[in-house]
Amino acid sequence: MNLIAQYADWIYLAAAVLFILTLKGLSSPTGAIAGNRYGMVGMALAVLVTLVIAPSPNFALIVVAMVGGAAMGTYRAKTVPMTQMPETVAMMHSLVGLAAVLIALAAVHNANQHHNAVQRVELFIGCFIGGITFTASVVAWGKLSAKLAAKPLKGGWVKPVQVLVALGMLAAGVHYFVSESLTAFWVMTALSLVLGYFLIAPIGGGDMPVVVSMLNSYSGWAAAGIGFTLNNSVLIIAGSLVGSSGAILSYIMCKAMNRSLLNVIFGGGMGGEEAATSGGEAVQRAYKSGSADDAAFMMGNADSVVIVPGYGLAVSRAQHALQEYANALTEKGVNVRYAIHPVAGRMPGHMNVLLAEAEVPYEQVLEMEEINSDFGNTDVVLVIGANDVVNPAAQKDKASPIYGMPILEAHKSRTVIVVKRSMSAGYAGLDNDLFYMDKTMMVFGDAKKVVEDMIKAVAH
């Protein structure tokens, strides 16, 4: 133990390097497993060193907390369906925020410790970012899990309330900094919790992938702020890595949606006043429909097929059946590829994880920038459970809330097959002109059942 304490800084540095390797590994499906292992080893080292160098730790409480947390985490990891992964991630972010708040409150109530000006600023920043992260993540969890309406909180009063709450929080923080008043710190904490709600409630369902990424960044900065309070270098480094990577990912996601990050943070855009009611029925227009047998015949006689997966695929748990069908088409000589939009699903990388679970070969999975130029030469595009990421209104309708958002250009292919339960609008609440084109055939039903019927048709 003394040896560990003697080399604590070096071990923390090793843990930090492992965290960097974790991010590097997680940047690609091929390196994800190794990346996770790096992170596990790095965290184990960080926890071990912290327990050794901590002054008079209460090992009984620490062990109980660690065992309980490990048990809950293991259970959730083994039982969570892929459709609930986004809200699970949001809930994890909320726990990081709550931890930051509780640590800050414990620090300011420690009668044996005086905090200088710099430390008071660190406590203030760590606590208010943690408070915002906690309630914002809980609201995001509610929207993603359908416990709360996906529709945004609307009204001319929303932004003034955001500003007033933020100013009140800052004023209470300044009062704490000057007077070291515990009451002011509690008021600041309470207002940060309220602000977290008002930052996420006005954001519509179509922006939730960016929200999940943004909350990831918030949780990192909250951890870094508390790292300064605890004078823990590895927590500062890990928090900074998570915060900066989450911010970069949020920027990339916003760019993929042609959105301003500030616009998303403070509500508006997709899912705002301009959008139709989320989940409502689309205006009645003429469209063509067919059966699973029709779809299987068209794809079985094509030279090239591009599959565009969406959240509906995850809901129906159809990814394994879809890959079985893709393999059947490949055996017939059809060139099958998957096209992934950056904001498909409910969180960044949702579709990539879904397809990896079904053991889809990595070389068949192409990002939007790689595949868009090929749609014009593609015989059939199968859109399964997706809506907004293939909506031509983003390119053609200047009045559309998603105008300017880059999309997968499925409408340029020779034939489009869309598998949906109904003609209802997508998660952003928008109708889709693609569904009414002469080249489009709608196939209605549960995605898994439709794909299974297509497999039977190919077998015959």
3-class SS of residue 106: helix
In whole angstroms, what is the distance from residue 175 CA to residue 370 CA? 53
Burial level of 390, CB count in 10 A (0-12/13-18/19+)? buried
Check if 453 is active-site.
no
Sign, Cα dihedral of 271, 352, 98, 80:
positive
In whole angstroms, what is the distance from residue 215 CA to residue 194 CA? 16
User: Which uninterrupted H or E stretch holds 341?
Assistant: none
**Catalytic-role residue among 207, 388, 431, 453:** 388
Instruction: Name every residue whose Cβ is closer than 8 Å to that of residue 220 and which is 6 or more positions away in sequence.
Output: 238, 239, 240, 241, 242, 243, 244, 245, 246
- 91 phi/psi in degrees, rounded to 5: -65, -35
- Edge-to-edge strand list for the sheet holding 365-367: 365-367, 335-340, 304-309, 380-384, 415-420, 440-444
Residue at 302: amino acid letter: A
Q: Are 222 and 157 in contact (CB under 8 A)?
A: no
Closest listed residue to residue 13, CA positions, set 55, 49, 40: 49
Instruction: Name every residue whose Cβ is closer than 8 Å to that of residue 434 and which is 6 or more positions away in sequence.
Output: 383, 390, 391, 392, 410, 411, 416, 418, 440
Closest listed residue to residue 110, CA positions, set 59, 180, 197, 5: 180
Q: Are 351 and 268 in contact (CB under 8 A)?
A: no
Helix orientation angle between 117-144 and 158-179, rounded to the nearest 10 degrees? 150
Q: Are 417 and 380 in contact (CB under 8 A)?
A: yes
Tokens 């927590």 belong to 235
Tokens 């069908």 belong to 325
DSSP string, 19-50: HHHHHHHHTSGGGHHHHHHHHHHHHHHHHHHH
Residues with active-site annotation: 388
